[in-house]
Structure 1
Amino acid sequence: MRIHCFHVMLACCLSLPAAAQERIALNQDGFYPAGPKLAFVTGHLPGGPFYVLTENRADTVFKGTLGPETASRNSSTVTRRADFSALRQAGRYVLSIPGVGVSYAFPVRAHAMEPASIAALKGYYYLRSNMPLEVAYAGPWQRPAGHPDTAVLVHASAADARRPEGTVLASPGGWYDAGDYNKYVVNSGISVYTLLAAYEDFKPYYDTLRTGIPESSNHLPDILDEALYNLRWMLTMQDPQDGGVYHKLTNAAFDGWVKPGATTLPRYVVQKSTAATLDLAAVAAQAARIFGAFEKEAPGLADSCRRAAIAAWNWAQAHPAVLYDQDALNKRFAPPISTGTYGDNHVEDEWFWAACELYTTTKEKVYRQALEKRISLPVSVPDWGHVQLLGYYTLLRTGAVGRPALKDSLLRLADGYVNALQHTAFATVMGGSTKDFVWGSNAVAANQGMLLLAAYRLTHAPRYALAALDNLDYLLGRNATGYCFVTGQGSFATMHPHHRPSVSDGVVPPVPGLLAGGPNPGMQDHVHYGHTAPELAYMDDAASYASNEIAINWNAPLVYLCGGIEALQRDLGLAR
């Protein structure tokens, strides 16, 4: 309906503070025409009507009634729900709530999540380490190449008879890991896996998606080009003599707030580790089966990946528990290393994941036996140190191991999240437990979404995919802070991420398409946040590395979630 609402608009919207916009939490990137459309107003207020207005506020297109007040479990926040799912007409709108004000403008459109999908994937282009970012592709974020890494030193902790301390290696390429300028194999493992998994699960969508990177004109899908940029670097971190993989490539200490490549400090490859080696084994095996279909575009790549995966597995077999302990290393070797550790003291899940990928690719009995030994380990939403579920995803996707218990276990995990959704103040899976709010909490939300899409693909039950969409709404603005956590998206987005290129480039907007870490009551950076409650403990400040850093493993499930929802929009009835 279209009702002239000039007087309603005057009564409800004028002379109210701009901060009112942050009180109305919604997906600032918008909604699908036939999909759910929820917003939440925070703070105590009486129930009553709400209105959806055209962006110019000249007309009302929908009128509804606010829901009952709900108290959050994760702060003192209270909310009321505005449900305007019945509005299906494409356009740009604002939500008006009497006594509060108007929301940021939002669209209703087909392909509602495609801008975020493209931005999140292209975010990796801006993280490339040793190639210039040209204005044709990077716009105002153009820059010279960063660290070339063509003359990297073997650190004392990584030295052996064939490669003694100080040996010079070449290990170019790859993505900068996070807000710093170092590169870490363990974190690269889950990140590359997730991009490749997105391609495996939603191949038709990604076959045609173009993000405007230099490789967009070639015959590989852009998501594979981007994953390959980092995978080729990971392969350089493998010792060709024995198959072991160096844990990371790093400065001895973090760079300051300088542009990429501005410093000429020595860079090192540091100790081989079982976790890093198994991560490469898993990702290389996965890549071998995917790139086997692209022999013309990437000749020999699949075979190289397969050999690298097997060599890494064999090294790990001979070195099953070489754990990365940076404090212990610094007591023995110089220079001391103080950059990110990615230390993992429990690698049974890495063994399982690598075995799953190798068995799926090779069908060799030795890998089947290895995964069967570990198949009953508990599963949880993945992060870089907990990768058991990645193996489940692969086995269930490919049917390589026909075990109903795998499906049952994954669905029990998904059901636990969906069943808790109705009790949360923002009607999202994210926040069902205070434990969701950790360092990188936004990646928790995105990985929950990835799990829920896996459950949907197994069952075709819409409740799982719609719960995944709820979590995407959370990341794009439907949360207690009111922030859209993806740089360059929405109207009230993260502007000051802990990200050295964004701080040092002299461009006011940050590098786009990057997911901020999100609320983290741990506040390990000791910045004054203003709020300490779990869902509010966020500070849009470059100094806040505990809540506002970016990271490749956080962007990856965002890519999967945005692309998955886009790929499934017609199956789910979101777009007519």
Structure 2
Amino acid sequence: MKNSLILTLLLFYSCASLLHAQSPIEIRVNLRGYPGDMPKEVLILSKGALDNPVLKLKNEKGVTLKEYQCIPSENPWPPFPYYYKADFSGFKERGKYYFELGENNIVSPVFTVGSYPNWQEDVIGFIRTQRCGFNPYTKAFCHQKDGLSFFGKRPDSTRIDATGGWHDAGDQLKYLITGSNTTARLLMAYQMKPHSFKDVVDARGLKGANNLPDVLDEAKWGLEWILKLHPSPDELYHQVADDRDHRGFKLPHEENADYGWGPNSFRPVYFATGKPQGLSKYKSKATGIANLAGRSSATLALGYQVFINFEEYKVFAQTCLKAAKELYQMGKSQEGYQQGNSFGAPYRYEENTWADDMEWAAACLYKITKKKEFLRDARGYAKIIGNWSWMERDTASHYEMYPFINMGHYALWQVGSSKDKKEMSAYYKHNLEQVKKRSRENPYGIGHLFIWCSNNLAAAVATQAMLYEEMTGSTEYRPLMQNHINWLLGLNPWSSSMITEIPENSDTPVDVHMPFWRIYKKSIKGSLVDGPLWSTIHDKMLGIALSKPDEYAHLQPDHIKYMDDWADYSTNEPTLDGSAELLLILTRLSND
């Protein structure tokens, strides 16, 4: 049984998270805690200067184990003009702890030192709830008439089977841009720790083991959809539906959007032409299709690598490999990028890079075939993209330079020569150094950008730092990695996690922009929300009017905003690919 003191503290912070009572001094920790071998920091936020801030580290019984002198932190964020920081990385004993500030009777939330739970399973569970075609959460079929093709080689309004895939971000659109990356992350997570994933659901996502880890059931769902969007060697479709979907909250099988054929009927399926598209006022930008074709090729190649090891899926694996080769050739013949389409709103996925995706595909295909032409291509594409990344920038457009990590460099590092390995790790290091420079400008030690979906970028920094450590053996970016994980798990201005119901018994997003929450009043565990936005962006977002007073008003910095309010789609909407961005990190840090 847990110690009564810990239960009292948990109850106190449960109430505090609900009331968000104002305090002149607050302590920020990672609400879950810290893996034993990772850096550990605690932060004090204060309205007034503290003469000699000392934090006492206490165990479950309230016994003081260590005392840490806190030092002032530069570049404070309002509304707290004073920040003090203590490093307790040397403390590695597993257990539950909390901090107490001197004589001020201020205590921190209880946190853990030790490995994280297997939260990657919860993320996979959230992704499963986003399935289209048959949704295992509602146990109902939806969008069975997806869809009618546009801009393609077939006449407009030709019936094409684009059923399946995942709903994208609290709505019911489907994008190859994000779906391909989500599928790839599921496959890579499995490759990282193949024996650590559970098998509790079947292929339909319903309860019942089927001798395939659930992570691969979900990956296969994504692979099958990519294959549908590539029905012949020279065809690739990239999006199902558009922002005409946005007609309030509705369950997937109760679709009310009308694309010209009545509610709950056909939806457009957009062909990847490599040219600007749009059926109404707003047009996308495009110079080619290599981002979509390359990333889909890489994902299918990863599918081959995984499923060829299962006797009953060898034919499926070969199908994936064939399609991967075809899509790679499509990408080579139309180098450039294709963006997402919008209809009546200015918002779209503005991806504008492509060489990283082709590098990723070429390296994956070389790993399988050992054909030197793929290795040569991978090296060429690697030089085109180089160290270009959002990490090099002070700002970026929505989903510019997506995916937010160059997985092509990692894939080439896996199969390349010693020279390749040195060059690829140098690219990663250059990016991380830019983030590290920005991280010195705030007390939280984070350096990502606060553009739309900023939490994706925080997760991307942590993942790139983790991969760099694998590539080089160097632990120099562990503090940067942990700081961005800390940010997502509550060591931030709001003392709130950015992942629904994770950590357990903590302040996490509740009132999210999600139909299951709005209709069922049920939270789905394991989804990453969009995250804080620069105020200059947030204040200009269309159609945001909070449904209730801001519970974090007294904690909001001047320059960034986060709202746990369903009416704020810009900071509190769970996303498919953002959640998938967590998979490699959580798999790495979890219990085996």
Shorter-chain-normalised TM-score: which range? 0.7 to 0.9
Q: In 1, are the aligned partners of 2:513 and 2:567 still within 8 Å (CA)?
A: yes
CA contact (8 A) 1:93 1:105 kept: yes
The alpha-carbon distance between structure 1 residues 402 and 286, as it changes in their structure 2 partners (threshold 3 A), is farther
Q: CA 1:224 to 1:41, structure 2 compared with 1: closer, same or farther past 3 Å? A: same
Q: How much has 1:68 moved relative to structure 2?
A: 1.8
Q: State yes or no: 1:210 paired with 2:202.
A: no
The question of 1:164 aligning with 2:155 is answered yes
2:118–2:590 contact (8 Å) kept in structure 1: no
Counterpart pick for 1:548 among 572, 575, 584: 572
1:378 pairs with one of 380, 383, 386? 386
Structure 1 residue 233: deviation in Å? 1.2
Structure 2's unaligned 5+ residue stretches are: 256-263, 274-288, 392-398
Q: Does the CA-based 8 Å contact 1:62-1:87 persist in structure 2?
A: no
Please give the per-residue CA displacement for 1:79-128, whole angstroms capped at 9, x wherever unaligned.
Answer: 212444455554433322243622223233x43x1243332232212222
Query: Which residue matches 1:106?
Result: 111
TM-score by length of 2: 0.79
Which residue does the alignment assign to 2:410? Answer: 393
Q: What runs of 5+ residues in structure 1 fail to find an aligned partner?
A: 134-141, 328-335, 570-576
Shift of 1:145: 2.5
Q: Is the 8 A contact 1:153 1:165 kept in 2?
A: no
**Displacement, 1:245?**
1.4
1:358 is matched with which residue: 339, 355, 365? Answer: 365
Cα distance in 2, alignment partners of residues 322 and 20 from structure 1: 48
**Matches of 1:548 and 1:189 in 2, distance apart?**
23
Q: CA deviation at 1:540?
A: 0.9
What is the 5 A alignment of 1:267-416? 267-273=267-273, 274=289, 275-294=291-310, 296-321=311-336, 323-324=338-339, 326=341, 336=343, 341-376=348-383, 377-379=385-387, 380=389, 385-387=401-403, 389-399=406-416, 402-403=419-420, 404-416=422-434
Q: Which amino acid aligns with 2:147?
A: L
1:574 maps to: none
Do 2:133 and 2:163's aligned partners in 1 also have CA atoms closer than 8 Å?
yes
Residue matched to 2:489: 476
Q: Which has the higher contact order (CA 8 A, sep 6+)?
A: 1
SS at match of 2:308: helix
Aligned length: 524
Which deviates more, 441-450 or 82-91?
A: 82-91
Q: How does 1:220-239 map to 2 (within 5 A)?
A: 220-239=212-231
CA offset at residue 532 of structure 1? Answer: 7.0
Q: Is the 8 A contact 2:455 2:488 kept in 1?
A: yes
Structure 1 residue 197 displacement after superposition: 2.5
| Residues 1:562 and 2:586 aligned together | yes
Aligned residue among 143, 156, 159 for 2:138: 143
Describe the SS at the equivalent of 1:39: strand
Matches within 5 A, 1:63-102: 63-72=66-75, 75=78, 77=80, 78-85=82-89, 87-97=91-101, 98-99=103-104, 101-102=106-107
CA distance in 2, matches of 1:338, 1:536: 24
SS in 2 for 1:298: helix
Rounded Cα–Cα distance in structure 2 between residues aligned with 1:185 and 1:410:
26
Structure 2 residue identity aligned to 1:312: L
1:192–1:402 distance in 2 versus 1, CA, 3 Å: farther
1:259 aligns with 2:259: no
Distance 1:228 1:536 in 2: 38
Distance 1:371 1:422, change over 3 A: same
1:485 to 486, 494, 498: 498
Deviations, residues 156-197 of structure 1 (Å, cap 9, x unaligned): 333x3xx33332232232221111111100112222222322
Q: Name the residue aligned to 1:139.
A: none
Structure 2 Cα separation of the partners of residues 502 and 398 of structure 1: 44
**One-letter code of the match for 1:189?**
S
Whether contact under 8 Å (1:118, 1:211) holds in the other structure is no
- Encode CA deviations 1:410-438: one digit per residue, 9 max, x unaligned: 22333444566566412x3x2x3xx6211
Q: Relative to structure 1, is the Cα distance of residues 406 and 219 closer, same or farther in structure 2, using a 3 angstrom cutoff?
A: same
Distance 1:106 1:283, change over 3 A: same
Distance 1:277 1:79 in 2: 48
1:190 aligned residue: 181
Superposed displacement of residue 230, structure 1: 1.4
Match of 1:129 in 2: 132
Per-residue CA shift, 1:346-377, capped at 9, x if unaligned?
43443333333333333334433433333222
Contact 1:128 1:174 in 2 (8 A): yes
2:211 is matched with 219
1:433-452 to structure 2, matched below 5 A, reads: 436-452=449-465
Distance in 1 (alpha carbons) for counterparts of 2:21 and 2:379: 55
- Alignment TM-score, normalising by the size of structure 1: 0.81
* 1:61 aligned residue (61, 64, 79): 64
Aligned residue in 2 for 1:32: 35
With 529-538 and 401-410 compared, the bigger mean Cα shift is at 529-538
2:164 matches 1:154: no
C-alpha separation in 2, matches of 1:312 and 1:539: 41
Q: Residues of 2 paired with 1:85 and 1:317: CA distance?
A: 48
**1:39: Cα distance to partner?**
1.9
User: Which residue of 1 is the match for residue 57 of structure 2?
Assistant: 52
Partner residue, 2:283: none
Once superposed, what is the RMSD of the aligned Cα atoms?
3.4
Residue 192 of structure 1 contacts residue 227 of structure 1 at CA under 8 Å; is this kept in 2? Answer: yes
Preserved CA contact (<8 Å) 1:247 1:269: yes
More helix by share: 1
- Higher mean alpha-carbon deviation, 208-217 vs 36-45, is at 208-217
Match of 1:516 among 503, 506, 529: 529
SS of residue matched to 2:96: strand
Contact 2:460 2:581 in 1 (8 A): yes
User: 2:99 corresponds to which letter in structure 1?
Assistant: L
Deviates further, 64-73 or 455-464 = 64-73
* More moved, 113-122 vs 484-493: 113-122
Change in Cα spacing, 1:459 to 1:370, as seen in structure 2 (3 Å) is: closer
CA contact (8 A) 1:75 1:536 kept: no
Q: CA contact under 8 A between 2:173 and 2:245: conserved in structure 1?
A: no
User: Which residue in the other structure is 2:279 paired with?
Assistant: none
- Letter matched to residue 49 of structure 1: V
1:458 counterpart (471, 485, 491): 471
Percent sequence identity over aligned pairs? 21
Aligned to 2:259: none
> Which residue identity is paired with 1:463?
E
Does the residue aligned with 1:493 lie in a helix, a strand or coil? coil
Paired amino acid for 2:563: M
Aligned partners of 2:430, 2:561: CA distance in 1, in Å?
30
> Relative to 1, partners in 2 of residues 1:247 and 1:54: Cα closer, same or farther, differing over 3 Å?
same
**Residues 244 and 81 of structure 1: is their aligned pair in 2 closer, same or farther, counting only changes over 3 Å?**
same
Residue type at the aligned position of 2:216 = L
Deviation at 1:504, TM superposition (A): 1.8
Aligned AA (2:423): A
Q: CA deviation at 1:32?
A: 3.4
- Describe the shift of the 1:266–1:74 C-alpha distance in structure 2 as closer, same or farther (beyond 3 A): farther
Cα gap change, 1:88 to 1:183, in 2 (>3 Å):
same
| Counterpart Cα distance in 1 of 2:37 and 2:380 | 46
**Amino acid paired to 2:381:** R
- CA 1:189–1:340 in 2, change beyond 3 Å: closer, same or farther? farther
Following the alignment from structure 2 to structure 1, what is the Cα–Cα distance between the partners of residues 313 and 514? 32
Deviation readout 1:248-275 (Å, 9 max, x if unpaired) = 1125432421122212143221122413
Which amino acid is the alignment partner of residue 431 of structure 2? L
2:147 partner SS: strand
Preserved CA contact (<8 Å) 1:281 1:310 = yes
Greater Cα shift, 226-235 or 365-374: 365-374
